[in-house]
Structure 1
């Protein structure tokens, strides 16, 4: 299959950037970590799951590759379809790096809530108190509202000046700590706390608050409060456009032939809102620890799980509700907690039971959301719900508390 070169970027890049808000199968029995391994017979349910993602890959506008990791009862299974790289034809692997897009926001929540647990921050701390350089009109916004996407902050990724820079040079190196300057002259979209509106600006502000509270760079806070405690060895927050080898190549698939957009954009333009690079194995470790109580205590967890109406972007399986840096996905088989994300070349879901004992990561190597591909998004959500049901099979229903 021919692949369009990076230089042949489509004319509709602006629409895609706006929408971003910037067949082989393996079933493995795994030890404490997650790694590819040979397996004997393939269980019947895995054949059914494999068939679904194979059909999704082969269908119109389907992604070149899908890899899902299901972990429960001390073992993991890897179900994959398609390829990680159209040039070589190799299958996706759990140690492949990838852009995790807005699932980075859960890492952002993990840092902030760990600091709340330690008393370095409070959920009712305001931008006026922690970041007085930001516009006075934003001053009453609290950390809680930022994490809940009820702040009313204008989304800098929708700003025409920001988009013009990306169109002129997609690999432009932004000063990540000045991204909110693009909308500093704009008022709040609504009174803080009065409604839900997903905004990439929220998590930039959260990261800046964590730095102001600790005097420590956000990248180091990620390392000390998240990566090290959970044993994440292949996860990081880069500034440039390069991905470490090996990696899942991300593609734009419509119109054909596919175009490799893995390294189209600099991560500096999304930073704490969507810039993290990780692997399916590390993402599995993260979501289990994040929902399972490994990073902060029960009092903070109770605050995190005060749900309100609101969906992740793109929407996850089932009915969505929003917590603090976390979403509740109520499916026909029970509830899982997690986050989704999308970025040119990638669509992500990570989810786990509220105790963290069962988890699912589901990575797709093209961008799918309601603006770009609403029909494919609904098909993807249906497939993800079937994977969640398999994850929860033979277990009691969960209510998400």
Structure 2
């Protein structure tokens, strides 16, 4: 979403901004005859091959948890300078998986009677453009709102280009598209927009009188015991962290971990966490631990739409959650990508089995479409391993 801090960083501006919080499957490399695609030995090899693929990440980690048993697969390094291996306690930018956290907040406020899915922007956020007033919270959460995406606004791109570490007023990000009409009638179709979850967070603040960061701490971090998760405003990463890289062969990987300010993505993609914390989050969130059965039924009303980047198998969109239907079964979760990072979090509908996959470079349909297809194949194989009977 944001641009580099110096001319040396090679990220193309359009691809960077389009994919910040931003499909068929192709086969991964040939598998050994004695190792099925979801066998542990094969999975480790597939992760290693991702790190050596053109434009691939310097490091990747996959955490599978079945009940209380945790299985970690990793390849490459957390830091090319030191060669340190990735750990599940390393911090990272979680990108658009942060949108699920705004869902966790807003859906709990629905249970509390503070918000309703049919509440409109006009009712809760009347200062926003009148042309947007009939958009509902439901449409924001499942990306059928039609809100123009502020990360594509020329003025926003101009400011980011001038200073990638610029501190934005996160609560005024939608001002960059305030002169734009809706892209389509609300509810008429699906289009992924980073503006949607900014509006969701603003709604949560408006009805509670509390800052979104405080709502996250009270409604998400505390009940799920997330001790290494935060929503910062700056560009610094807490130690230890897996370094994120711009990988453009034949140039060596370039560290972009702290190139961009999180203030410009906020509720749409600014959260920092660890694979360990993300595992705890997706088990609780996908498993319905945080919300009532009644609200969960509303959350799991699916529309045709893919996460960004697309996740494994067939994708369908719910309310701040996606259904990934693979050849081995169904998991719920979210994906995301940000300069230096690509993420998948997923869990079974009961939350008892979960998967997190984190790469230390950005992979999406715009910048590396072939690698994305290969990654989705590996992700599906990991889902199959997760769902396999033990």
Q: TM-score range by the shorter chain?
A: over 0.9
Aligned to 2:134: 140
**Mapped pair 1:277 → 2:288:** no
CA distance in 1: counterparts of 2:171 and 2:20, whole angstroms? 20
Aligned to 1:20: 20
Aligned to 2:67: 73
CA distance in 2: counterparts of 1:71 and 1:211, whole angstroms? 34
Alignment root-mean-square deviation, CA: 1.4
Aligned to 1:249: 243
CA distance in 1: counterparts of 2:98 and 2:57, whole angstroms? 21
CA distance in 1: counterparts of 2:5 and 2:94, whole angstroms? 23
CA contact (8 A) 1:153 1:189 kept: yes
Question: Tell me, which stretches of 5 or more residues in structure 1 are unaligned?
Answer: 23-43, 396-401
- Alpha-carbon distance change, 52 to 19 in structure 1, aligned in 2, over 3 angstroms: same
Question: Tell me, which stretches of 5 or more residues in structure 2 are unaligned?
Answer: 23-37
CA distance in 1: counterparts of 2:304 and 2:294, whole angstroms? 22
Aligned to 2:337: 342
Other structure's SS at 2:39 match: helix
Structure with more contact order per residue of length (Cα contacts < 8 Å, sep ≥ 6): 2
Question: Cα deviations across residues 326-383 of structure 1 (Å, max 9, x unaligned)?
Answer: 0000000000000000000000000000010000000000000000000000000000
Other structure's SS at 1:330 match: strand
**Mapped pair 1:108 → 2:84:** no
CA contact (8 A) 1:21 1:157 kept: no
| 1:5 Cα deviation after fit | 10
CA contact (8 A) 1:14 1:167 kept: no
Question: Cα deviations across residues 204-238 of structure 1 (Å, max 9, x unaligned)?
Answer: 00000000010000000000000000000000000
| 1:45 Cα deviation after fit | 2.5
TM-score where L is the length of structure 1 = 0.91
| 1:21 Cα deviation after fit | 4.8
Alignment of 1:253-268 (within 5 A): 253-255=247-249, 256-268=251-263
CA contact (8 A) 1:6 1:261 kept: no
Other structure's SS at 2:107 match: helix
CA contact (8 A) 2:90 2:274 kept: yes
Other structure's SS at 1:151 match: coil
Alignment of 1:15-164 (within 5 A): 15-21=15-21, 45-164=39-158
- Alpha-carbon distance change, 138 to 5 in structure 1, aligned in 2, over 3 angstroms: closer
CA distance in 2: counterparts of 1:88 and 1:7, whole angstroms? 25
CA distance in 2: counterparts of 1:67 and 1:294, whole angstroms? 26
Q: How many residues align?
A: 371
| 1:73 Cα deviation after fit | 3.0
